[in-house]
């Protein structure tokens, strides 16, 4: 899926994966040597993340139910606990530097797009799609 900051007209990720199972949520980005540009990992029903066991820095966006950026954590280093954002619904992990390069900030509107959608079709809180109706345990 593609993740777009529509407020800044910037693509944040062309190949974002969804952590939609217990195992995917548990593993996150563990075992990887890097998170290449263009990739990302999206968690639903998530309020916080950690980088314990990871080998690289990441940028993290915390989104509300309307897909607005609530909080930004830039260049979160390995073996750290990220912030807990009580009202966050989605957490998006991106390669370090993406937030700065895209000028993403609190209040920006984010959009989820599937590969088959045109640029005007979004997958968000009011759309009928697997992203809008994700389940999860709220843990990472």
CATH number at residue 32: 2.60.120.1140
pLDDT band at 33 (very low <50, low <70, confident <90, very high): confident
DSSP 27-74: HTTTT-S---TTEEEEEES--EEE-TT-SS-EEEEEE-TT-BEEEEEE
Domain assignment of residue 69, yes or no: yes
**Could you list the residue range(s) of the whole structural domain that residue 43 is in?**
2-113
Q: Is the separation of the CB atoms in 20 and 129 below 8 Å?
A: no
Is the pLDDT reported for residue 26 higher than 90?
no
Backbone φ/ψ region at 103: left (φ over 0), alpha (ψ -120 to 50), beta: left
pLDDT (mean) for 11-34: 85
Q: What is the number of structural domains in the chain? A: 1
Q: Is the pLDDT confidence value at 21 over 70?
A: yes
In a domain, 43, yes or no: yes
* Domain assignment present for 28: yes
Angle CA 49–72–67, to nearest 5: 90
The answer as to whether 138 is a domain residue is: no
């Amino acid at each position: 899926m593609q993740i777009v900051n529509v407020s800044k007209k910037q693509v944040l990720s062309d190949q974002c994966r969804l952590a939609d199972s217990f195992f995917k949520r548990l593993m996150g980005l563990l075992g990887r040597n890097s998170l290449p540009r263009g990739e990302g990992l999206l968690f639903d029903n998530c309020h916080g993340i950690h980088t314990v066991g990871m080998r690289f820095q990441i940028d993290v966006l915390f989104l509300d139910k309307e897909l607005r950026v609530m909080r930004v954590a830039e260049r979160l280093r390995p073996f750290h606990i990220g912030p807990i954002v009580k009202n966050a619904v989605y957490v998006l992990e991106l390669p370090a530097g993406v937030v700065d390069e895209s000028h993403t900030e609190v209040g920006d509107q984010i959009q989820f797009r599937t590969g088959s959608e045109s640029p005007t079709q979004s997958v968000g809180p009011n759309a009928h799609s697997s992203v809008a109706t994700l389940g999860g345990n709220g843990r990472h």
